Structure 1
């Protein structure tokens, strides 16, 4: 549990850093903004599933230009994940969660694996965002876990 909590703290920090980099770049790249919104919405989708709620109301791939709204979503996600994880017991990480994906397919996955999906999914896309920032000659965000641990 300690490792997952620490990794989630890194996720919250890295989400903020990537948003800072996007704001500083003043990018208008629609695909890049769609991608960062996707990360925020996917975090929300998985949280709802962990809480036994449906997620059909969310659209994972929508265009946006509003980084302020995305930041608010990331902040709300962080707050709600902290509450969820604080109430989670170690044994509950291995409990199976039944849910439907965005296409209506039924799945069953452990809470541990869902949390790892959230962590790895975000890191993957933050790497894509950083690469796109570099291509645009903007400064990418340093989001490596080791950087986070040095704070």
Structure 2
């Protein structure tokens, strides 16, 4: 459980950093903004499933220009994941969650695997966003786990 909590802390940190890089770049690239929103919504979708709620009300791939709304969603997600994980016992990681994907197809997946999906999915898309920033000649931001984990200097 300690590793999962630490990885979630990295996710909150990395979400904030990638959003900061998008804000600083002043990008107008709709695909990059759509990816950032997608990460935030996907985190929310998976949390809803973990909480036994439906997720059909969420649209994963909408365009947006509102980075403030995305930041708010990331912050709310972090708060809700912290509450969820603090109430989770180690033994619950192997419990199965029944849910339907966004197309209505039913699945059954362990809590552990869902949390792993959330952590890996966001990192994948943050890499895509960084690549897009570099292509715009903007400075990509370091979001690697090791950067998060290293002791701060200075």
TM surpasses 0.5: yes
The one-character-per-residue Cα deviations of 1:80-110 (angstroms, maximum 9, x if unpaired) are: 0000000000000000000000000000000
Secondary structure of residue in 1 paired with 2:14: helix
Q: TM-score, normalised by structure 2?
A: 0.97
Aligned partner of 2:59 in structure 1 is 59
Aligned partner of 2:70 in structure 1 is 70
Query: Within 5 A, what are the aligned runs for 1:83-122?
Result: 83-122=83-122
Query: Within 5 A, what are the aligned runs for 1:1-151?
Result: 1-150=1-150, 151=152
Runs of 4+ in 1 over 2 A off after TM superposition: none
Alignment coverage as a number of residue pairs: 151
Flag structure 1 segments of 5+ consecutive residues without an equivalent. none
Flag structure 2 segments of 5+ consecutive residues without an equivalent. none
Question: 2:141 & 2:68 partners in 1: Cα distance?
Answer: 18
Q: CA RMSD in A?
A: 0.4
Q: TM-score, normalised by structure 1?
A: 0.99
